[in-house]
């Protein structure tokens, strides 16, 4: 993997954590006085999902950092050489840029309803406009695009495993959130589910 793509992955991941998590969390906190990052604790499905998703993000961050500061270790991550093509890397980079824009817009459209995890103590507004007219989960869609883009840029056994595990975890997390939103909004959410697909 060239220096350009190693730096690209580092910058993309940094933008995601800074703008999509830290800055957005500060904005929501200032407007609501509540921390929107709901990392569950305890021995239940919600807390288990939170821990696993955080673990996957940390593994991806570790992969990116190792490849920037110790690129000679790249071969230890089991490169998939048949996918190591420049045009696939370009597609992957494009997917990551689209993912960042998509996620940023979707978070902005959620306004004060944006959360990481499930907030069982606050009745947040049901957002159905903007990107949410076309996908019930545009933020998760952006995350899938970003992870797939990262895999195409750095096609290895490690990035493939991270992508697959994150996709499975997101599928489970989405269903947990759907159960919560059904309890919270009732018929309004059930009607929304009938009109808009889960992904796109």
The average confidence (pLDDT) of the chain is: 93
pLDDT confidence of residue 40: 67
- Of 90, 101, 119, 93, the closest CA to residue 16 belongs to 101
Q: 70 vs 78, 135, 147, 166, CA distance in Å?
A: 15, 39, 21, 25
Mean pLDDT computed over 3-17: 93
pTM of the model: 0.93
Q: How many Cβ atoms from other residues are within 10 Å of residue 155's Cβ?
A: 23
- Assigned CATH class of 3-195: mainly alpha
Encode pLDDT of 87-127 as tens digits.
Answer: 999 999 999 999 999 999 999 999 999 998 888 888 889 99
Mean pLDDT of 43-55: 84
Residue with more model confidence, 48 or 143? 143
What pLDDT does residue 98 have? 97
Q: How far apart are CA 153 and CA 83, in angstroms?
A: 9
pLDDT at 61: 93
Nearest residue to 29 (alpha-carbon basis) of 87, 93, 112, 88: 112
The Cα–Cα gap between 154 and 168 comes to 20
Residue whose structure tokens are 């995350």: 143
Take residue 81 and report the two structure tokens written for it: 């050489």
């Amino acid at each position: 993997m060239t220096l350009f793509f190693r730096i690209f992955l580092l910058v993309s991941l940094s933008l995601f954590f800074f703008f999509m998590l830290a800055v957005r969390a500060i904005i929501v906190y200032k407007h609501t006085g509540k921390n929107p990052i709901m990392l569950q604790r305890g021995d239940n499905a919600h807390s288990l999902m939170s821990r696993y998703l955080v673990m996957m993000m940390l593994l991806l961050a570790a992969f990116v950092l190792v490849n920037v500061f110790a690129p000679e270790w790249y071969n230890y991550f089991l490169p998939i050489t048949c996918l190591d093509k420049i045009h696939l890397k370009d597609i992957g980079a494009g997917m990551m840029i689209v993912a960042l824009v998509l996620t940023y817009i979707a978070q902005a459209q959620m306004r004060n309803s944006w959360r990481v995890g499930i907030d069982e103590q606050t009745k947040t507004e049901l957002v159905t406009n903007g990107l949410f007219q076309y996908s019930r989960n545009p933020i998760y869609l952006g995350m899938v695009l970003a992870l797939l883009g990262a895999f195409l840029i750095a096609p290895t056994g490690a990035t493939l495993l991270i992508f697959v595990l994150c996709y499975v975890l997101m599928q489970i997390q989405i269903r947990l959130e759907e159960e919560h939103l059904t309890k919270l909004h009732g018929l309004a959410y059930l009607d929304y589910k009938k009109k808009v697909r889960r992904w796109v």
